Structure 1
């Protein structure tokens, strides 16, 4: 057995259009949108008959993808968006950006809020967490070398 690659990270959202706009502003490209429905899809997820609108967003380098999903049916059963970063099983997505200050300004215009502060790790990175659309936790890193 050999792992070939990580295909994508999935995030469930309420407002798919708003999430697409936000991650587009960050620099991801919309690769495609689709509605996935039917009993076959529910066999994969264990949710039974389902209907999900998805959008696949691709990073500029083409190596990573973010799958945004909005469940039409069944209804969403839990909400972990505002959980702190140390919550069990909680995920955040980290992106490397050219200029963290410029990115914060641009995303702030779309409602992003800084969680703590921008910090510098040695001479290697400037880092921060933000809350994006719907309170999603997103990490930003700026390489300094």
Structure 2
């Protein structure tokens, strides 16, 4: 058995519209948005009476996708990582390669993003930073140098 691909990374958010706007500003493209509920969904995520809405975003011309989910029922909880249930807010971090880290940071500030530390240089290879985005999600950015 061989893994075919990494299909997507899922992040639970309270404000789906704000999260979509943030990741679209980053450069992702919204593929679609739909409600998810019913017995099949409940059996997959292990939550009774589950009702949510998801938005699927993709990296332009690339295989990477991000699934944003907002739970209406049961209400989302913030208990941290580890043994947290499927509707836990946040994620440690998700990283994107960008062509201009300064421009990207400036654009995302318009959507409430704040640098966690600062933009740093790793040898002559990368400029890197962590931003805190919607729902406290840490978004890492990497600009390849040379």
Q: TM-score, normalised by structure 1?
A: 0.90
CA distance in structure 1 between the partners assigned to 2:61 and 2:79 by the alignment: 31
Taking the aligned partners of 1:135 and 1:24, their CA distance within structure 2 comes to: 17
Looking at structure 1, the residues matched to 67 and 131 of structure 2 have their Cα atoms a distance apart, in angstroms, of 19
In the aligned structure 2, how far is the partner of 1:118 from the partner of 1:80? Answer: 26
Structure 1 Cα separation of the partners of residues 9 and 127 of structure 2: 23
1:69 paired to 2:66: no
Shift of 1:80: 4.0
1:79 shift after superposition: 4.8
Give, in angstroms, the shift of residue 33 of structure 1: 0.3
Displaced runs of 4+ in structure 1, greater than 4 A? none
Q: Provide structure 1 residue ranges, at least 5 long, that are not aligned to the other structure.
A: 82-89
Distance in structure 1 (CA, Å) of the matches to 2:47 and 2:143: 39
* Shift in Å, 1:13: 0.3
TM-score, structure 2 as length reference: 0.89
Give RMSD over aligned pairs: 1.4
Partner of 2:128: 127
Show the 5 A alignment for 1:22-101: 22-80=22-80, 90-101=91-102
Please, which runs of 5 or more residues in structure 2 have no aligned partner? 82-90
Q: Write the deviation string for residues 13-49 of structure 1: whole angstroms up to 9, x where unpaired.
A: 0000010011000000000000000111010111123
